[in-house]
Amino acid sequence: MHGGGVSKECYLETPDGRQGWAARLVSLGYGVLVVDWLGLSYEAAQHVDDRAASARLDYESVCRGMGVFLSGLGRNVVLVVHSMAGPIGFRLLETHGDLIDGLVAVAPGPPGNVQAVPEIVRESDQEVSIRGAAIDWTIPKMGFWEPTSAFVNDKAIGPSRRFPRECIEVFRRTLRPIPARMLYQRQNIGGSQMRIGPTDAFTNKPILVFTGGADTDHPSQLDQDIVAWLTDQGAAVTFWSSELPVLAGNGHMLMVEDNSDELADEIARWITAL
């Protein structure tokens, strides 16, 4: 599952034209399903009625849709989530843990259980502004939030030494708007992010957590807080520190950076050991 502002395309092909994580994992013998969030496919974005419905999406509705999807597969999965999809992965473990053999959480957004409530800088009837770790956010209260240049340059890429900078414009063209209600929740404005519980399904569940070493939007302390919370719920957590050599220099979009194959191979090794 992709993160916010991107789509399933980030797993299919890198901006410099190499195979994405999906093809790499298939080449290693895994069956792979790559999905857009409920209601956020390219096709839905082109249809007026579907776009209006998508604008009303929140985390709970996306999680319900993904739960129906998992229930209909007829087989268990190892679920891979990135960034804004982190809370979706944690909720699906709560509600459909019997269908998930393991969770790979790449630079995961935290659940409301551990996420701090941000300070509101400015608010009106139409929008709210807060400060983030890498960028400031001005989020409309209805409709969609459109990815900005700051989102691309300072959050998605930032000081990464692994992103193919000659391909920034190619990457920019793959970006999608985010339903404002979901982004409001993701930032935990007013304590609105999903809280997870009960967490019985987390007991002994294998979970891998890691983030790029140059991801300024995802401080290492955030991963440590998530890992501590998961451990408290009884999960079998593997934590790859951002200081590991394989993650050195990686930014937020690890699956499209120049060492994406190496990272996919490391993920595959972790899955094989389950």
| pLDDT tens figures, 76-86 | 999 999 999 99
What pLDDT shows up at residue 38? 77
Distances (CA, A) of 6 to 100, 117, 152, 221, 267: 24, 25, 11, 25, 21
Axis-axis angle for helices 59-71, 86-96 (nearest 10): 50
What pLDDT shows up at residue 41? 62
Mean pLDDT is lowest, of 44-58, 68-82, 163-177, for: 44-58
Distances (CA, A) of 214 to 86, 152, 199: 19, 15, 31
What pLDDT shows up at residue 271? 98
pLDDT-derived band at 52 (thresholds 50, 70, 90) equals confident
Total residue count of the chain as it appears in this document: 274
Strand partners, 106: 82, 210
pTM of the shown model:
0.96
Mean pLDDT is lowest, of 47-56, 99-108, 118-127, for: 47-56
- On average, the pLDDT of the chain sits at 94
Q: Taking residues 112-136, what's their average pLDDT? A: 96
What pLDDT shows up at residue 44? 54
Mean pLDDT is lowest, of 33-37, 49-53, 184-188, for: 49-53
What pLDDT shows up at residue 45? 53
Q: What one-character DSSP code corresponds to residue 77?
A: E
In the chain, what are the helix, strand and coil shares in percent, each to the nearest 5? Answer: 40, 15, 45
- CA dist 116 and 108 (Å) reads 15
Q: Taking residues 195-211, what's their average pLDDT? A: 98
What pLDDT shows up at residue 80? 98
- CA dist 74 and 87 (Å) reads 24
14-32: burial string, b at 16+ Cβ within 10 Å, e else:
bbeeebbbbbbbeeeeeeb
- CA dist 206 and 221 (Å) reads 21
Least Cα distance to 103 among 273, 261, 224, 271 occurs for: 271
Question: Domains of the chain, with CATH numbers?
Answer: 8-273 (3.40.50.1820)
pLDDT-derived band at 55 (thresholds 50, 70, 90) equals confident
**Token reading at 103:** 């969770």
Cα(first)–Cα(last) distance of the chain, in Å? 20
